[in-house]
Structure 1
């Protein structure tokens, strides 16, 4: 292990799994950038750092007893404010635990060095996405909203579900129903029940849909933007997304974020048209 992960830690550094008693200190760390760290802060808020609810752990890296970095280690590995020494320590911890994740994702300057340490053991990545502009919108949208856009009702689950599956296959490159549809159906249902699923539905057909995947009092993250194939290129998505942003900022959180693949030129043009601006760069390695 020492040959794979160089040790740049001081004698007074420590890595340990964070517990409910650590929540206030971790939240202070996450709130250094509430937009970039919205996913992990959402996980902390909804689980209280109870390991059984997390479905994994959040590792903390301490120096002289002070929490300086963290790493969400569940289905998604997400570093938080990770210093070079913390990245070494997190990689070592993940490898010792023989952790298995579906992705490594987060700010590029933290994810890339972490992935370099993990790749010899976890790689190759099924889908490397090394440059993903991270976008924010915290004010009025730049285009007129499509007033047909609304929250999805729970009795519309069966209408919405095929669009969610189609989006997942297109974006992630795998079938969310592989091995059984129960878990993915539960996730889609949960988002609808939370009021986080938005769509334009006409004549029992989903024209546009997207969800809020994570949210805190300060920020939220949009995911799963999808337009019916027959309507792509018609301009529908700009008004629909603008309407969603307006509603989300009113109902859920004032800062709306998302990240997008660098090579997805149409999507990047859409987000710019609606009013999003790039504030950081993410990287994702899908396993």
Structure 2
């Protein structure tokens, strides 16, 4: 029988052991690894707590408990321990997201007390690329967004988020946190777009990034330009930047029902290596 002492909140002294767990799968764990590498394990800087699950005194599994609840390298015993801790704490996150198997078990244990969810996406293929195919020409008009172009890119970011998640990022705080995140990516040179006549035609960002892997997110084509394969040439351009400037592997995850996007990503060089699951509140 698992007890409360099986898990604990990790602190700065646990950083090396935490990074070792995250390094077992640099692609799958890129989101959490990037946060830990940037902020350490201080909850205030990290934006949440990092929970650790120990077996025989060894740190084996993690769960990031912030705006998202994310199980990391978590087998069934660890997931049950994290679920019990999360149930006692009450829901503070806006989503649960992570590897499909662990996330499915975690949600099955939390749903009686945390449910119902606004939406459950049980299978989101995780795709990885290490090169742009030679027969795909990157869009030469896709470039880094400049800091003085925030007013141009922000409406496209809001449209993408609303379309993808089903709610506006401007709700609640008026979009202050979301705007700050977009500005952070622009300032870091990780926001890319094709801009014509003062409006965004295509955009994507390199979100989570470590020296081992990075994650492309926020892929969006303006509705009137869809069907012209701009997502392929645009993604090829972003992928080229990601592999040249950020990390040797780039990943993304996509809804399984979005067959057009999955086909486009495959043509650009991505291959499916696993699956994520998301529970949205």
The answer to whether TM tops 0.5 is yes
Give the length in aligned residue pairs.
Answer: 279
Q: Deviations over 1:144-191 (max 9, x none)?
A: 111111110000000000000000110000011012121111111111
Alignment correspondent of 2:7: 15
Gap runs ≥5 in structure 1:
1-6
**Residues 13 and 63 of structure 1 are in contact (CA less than 8 Å); yes or no, is this contact kept in structure 2?**
no
**Residues 198 and 210 of structure 1 are in contact (CA less than 8 Å); yes or no, is this contact kept in structure 2?**
yes
**Residues 13 and 64 of structure 1 are in contact (CA less than 8 Å); yes or no, is this contact kept in structure 2?**
no
* Cα distance in 2 between the residues matched to 1:249 and 1:39: 17
Distance verdict in 2 for CA 1:182–1:232, change over 3 Å:
same
Alignment correspondent of 1:51: 43
Query: What secondary structure sits across from 2:108 in the alignment?
Result: helix
* Cα distance in 1 between the residues matched to 2:31 and 2:271: 19
> How many Å apart are 1:13 and its aligned residue?
6.3
Q: What is the TM-score with the length of structure 1 in the denominator?
A: 0.94
Alignment correspondent of 1:64: 56
2:162 to 163, 169, 189: 169
Within-5 A mapping of 1:202-281: 202-281=196-275
Gap runs ≥5 in structure 2:
none
**Residues 4 and 81 of structure 2 are in contact (CA less than 8 Å); yes or no, is this contact kept in structure 1?**
no
**Residues 69 and 95 of structure 2 are in contact (CA less than 8 Å); yes or no, is this contact kept in structure 1?**
yes
> How many Å apart are 1:100 and its aligned residue?
1.6
Within-5 A mapping of 1:11-160: 14-141=6-133, 143-160=136-153
* Cα distance in 1 between the residues matched to 2:109 and 2:171: 29
Q: What is the TM-score with the length of structure 2 in the denominator?
A: 0.96
Extract structure 1 runs of 4+ deviating beyond 6 A. none
